[in-house]
């Protein structure tokens, strides 16, 4: 009966959640600039009876919402992401993620009478490269959380998937300007250095394991074609599933950069971003529980495609707290993520239906977890042993 009530509670929120998702879509904000999104979500939760701490963990666009007087353990956390991509907007579907997590939390909040435990909704900004969850984790926001739940829209429906660890870094080369035609011999070409760096990476890939991913862009390549550039820069990502191998590949990229500098007579500066994303530690016990609700609600769960992996700051949280991150298809498989087409799919009838289905799945999974000491024990035992 209570599970049926959870489903009804989500359905009753449908119009409001769709409007919230639409609002986030219409006003996309990139990492750490999600001021309106954070405020809209906070106000909405306050209107539903939650106490909301803004600037949670010292992060300007984060929030922590709980029911008044409820802090008991075990405690589940619904994670709301709401940052958008530059120029693309919500091409990763975070408008749906936020609405689904908020909907799941509100629905569950109305079904907690007599249950030992509590739930919170955490607004986690800057997943797209900023590491908001890492900052909140370091600030102690998740210290008393027993399980963390969120969903992600996708082109496939899977209950769980691996995620790669990731190091984000910049490479800068410093040379000497000269007239590119009149006196090129007097210059030290920083553009040659960054081109040599990327060429070295291309050759390096042949010797890497399949799990490794390297990609980057030249963020500054010079200022005029008739001037030998004295400064160039690149923004880089390197990813791998195994943390030790990630370090190994990063060291090779360091050699590529220093070799390019040596070959061109430039100076090089390599700056890693401190927000390093960890690989995801999967909670198979929670995933099995989640899968039962996915299938009960009519979803056909697929197997992950080998090699189709990204990175997320949920990886860091999953190393400390059992977490799930099911993916649910809102579009056909030929539509890529991080695209305008995916952003548009979040507003489709299918996208809106998936948002509500995801809210139900998260609420039902959390309810089962909170009401079953056996499930709590099996989840904790697996987590401690892996």
pLDDT in tens, 190-243: 999 999 999 999 999 999 999 999 999 999 999 999 999 999 999 999 999 999
The secondary structure element, H or E, covering residue 169 is strand 165-174
- pLDDT bin (cut points 50, 70, 90) of residue 118 is very high
Question: Given a cut of 80, is residue 307 above it in pLDDT?
Answer: no
* 195 Cβ neighbours under 8 A, 6+ residues apart: none
CA distance 148 to 366: 9
The secondary structure element, H or E, covering residue 154 is strand 152-154
In this prediction the pTM is 0.92
Looking at every residue in the chain, the average pLDDT score rounds to 97
Provide the residue ranges of all domains of the chain, joining segments of one domain with +.
2-163+277-385, 165-272
Task: Kindly report the CATH class assigned to 165-272.
Answer: alpha beta
- Cα 185–Cα 187–Cα 189 angle in degrees, nearest 5: 115
Task: Kindly report the CATH class assigned to 2-163+277-385.
Answer: alpha beta
Question: Given a cut of 90, is residue 321 above it in pLDDT?
Answer: yes
pLDDT in tens, 30-89: 999 999 999 999 999 999 999 999 999 999 999 999 999 998 999 999 999 999 999 999
Model pLDDT, residue 309: 86
Q: What is the DSSP letter of 321?
A: S
pLDDT in tens, 243-266: 999 999 999 999 999 999 999 999
Question: Given a cut of 90, is residue 341 above it in pLDDT?
Answer: yes
Question: Given a cut of 90, is residue 328 above it in pLDDT?
Answer: yes
HSE-up of residue 382 (Cα within 13 Å, Cβ side): 18
- Before 136, cis peptide (omega within 30)? no
167 to 171, 212, 216, 220, 233: CA distances (angstroms): 13, 12, 12, 20, 17
- Contact criterion met (CB below 8 Å) for 313 and 127: yes
Residue 374: phi and psi, rounded to 5, are: -65, -45
Question: Given a cut of 80, is residue 1 above it in pLDDT?
Answer: no
pLDDT in tens, 356-384: 999 999 999 999 999 999 999 999 999 99
């Amino acid at each position: 009966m209570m599970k049926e009530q959870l489903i009804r509670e989500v359905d009753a929120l449908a119009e409001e959640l769709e409007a919230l998702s639409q609002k986030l879509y219409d006003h996309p904000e990139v990492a750490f600039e999600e001021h309106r999104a954070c405020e809209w979500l906070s106000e909405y939760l306050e209107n539903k009876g939650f106490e909301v701490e803004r600037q949670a963990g010292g992060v300007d666009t984060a929030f922590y919402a709980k029911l008044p007087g409820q802090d008991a353990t075990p405690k589940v956390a619904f994670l709301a992401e709401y940052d958008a991509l530059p120029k693309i907007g919500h091409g990763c579907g975070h408008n749906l993620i936020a609405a689904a997590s908020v909907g799941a939390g509100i629905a569950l909040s109305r079904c907690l009478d007599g249950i030992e435990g509590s739930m919170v909704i955490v607004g986690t900004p800057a997943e797209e490269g900023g590491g908001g969850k890492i900052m909140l984790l370091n600030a102690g926001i998740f210290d008393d959380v027993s399980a963390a739940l969120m969903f992600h829209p996708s082109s496939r429906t899977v209950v769980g998937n691996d995620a790669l660890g990731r190091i984000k870094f910049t490479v800068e080369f410093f040379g000497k300007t000269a007239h590119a035609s009149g006196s090129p011999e007097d210059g030290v070409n920083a553009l040659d250095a960054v081109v040599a760096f990327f060429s070295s990476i291309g050759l390096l890939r042949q010797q890497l394991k399949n799990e490794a991913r390297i990609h980057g862009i030249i963020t500054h390549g010079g200022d005029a074609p008739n001037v030998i550039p004295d400064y160039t820069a690149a923004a880089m990502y390197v990813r791998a599933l195994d943390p030790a191998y990630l370090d190994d590949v990063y060291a090779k990229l360091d050699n590529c950069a220093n070799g390019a500098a040596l070959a061109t007579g430039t100076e090089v500066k390599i700056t890693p971003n401190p927000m390093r994303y960890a690989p995801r530690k999967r909670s198979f016990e929670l995933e099995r529980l989640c899968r039962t609700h996915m299938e009960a609600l009519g979803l056909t769960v697929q197997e992950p495609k080998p090699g189709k992996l990204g990175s997320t700051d949920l990886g860091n949280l999953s190393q400390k707290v059992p977490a799930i991150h099911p993916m649910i298809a809102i579009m056909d498989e030929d539509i890529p993520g991080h695209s305008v087409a995916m952003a548009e799919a979040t507003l489709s009838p299918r996208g809106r239906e998936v948002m509500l289905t995801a809210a139900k799945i998260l609420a039902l999974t959390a309810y089962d977890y909170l009401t079953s000491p056996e499930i709590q024990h099996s989840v904790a035992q697996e987590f401690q042993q892996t």
